[in-house]
Amino acid sequence: NAGVTQTPKFQVLKTGQSMTLQCAQDMNHNSMYWYRQDPGMGLRLIYYSASEGTTDKGEVPNGYNVSRLNKREFSLRLESAAPSQTSVYFCASSERLAENSPLHFGNGTRLTVT
């Protein structure tokens, strides 16, 4: 029972480089999310996908793009990395976008941009 799997676990980028963070879930969930976690700021929503074929901006979407490849996979792309994007990134999924549907998280990707 893998749950939510994120790759890579760690990544170091130089300013201006691009990369894609991968996320896959095996729980047949409809909704998927990307968050970033910074010290003292809790989690902030970057993008989400309510269902296959849809994506929407969250609280901090600038500098990121997403693709909901299929029901299982939801990727996050940084086109031109900046030091301000140094953070821990979490992918999450939920059964649906309902009020009481809890989130299931991956173990995170720790990204450093130099």
Partner 1 sequence: AQSVTQLGSHVSVSEGALVLLRCNYSSSVPPYLFWYVQYPNQGLQLLLKYTTGATLVKGINGFEAEFKKSETSFHLTKPSAHMSDAAEYFCAVKKDSSASKIIFGSGTRLSIRP
- Looking at the Cβ atoms of 57 and 77, the one nearer to partner 1 is 57
The only residue of 14, 28, 40, 53 in contact with partner 1, by rule CB under 8 A:
40
Does residue 105 bind partner 1 (CB under 8 A)? yes
Residues 58-78 as b/e (b if ≥16 CB within 10 A, e otherwise) read bebbeebebebeebbbbbbeb
5 to 24: interface string for partner 1, x by CB under 8 A: --------------------
Q: Which among 16-24, 56-64, 68-76, 79-87 is the span making contact with partner 1, rule CB under 8 A?
A: 56-64
Question: Quick check: helix, strand or coil at residue 41?
Answer: coil
Question: Taking CB under 8 A as the criterion, which residues in 73-92 touch partner 1?
Answer: 90, 92
Question: Quick check: helix, strand or coil at residue 28?
Answer: coil
What span, in angstroms and rounded, lies between the C-alpha atoms of 103 and 33? Answer: 9
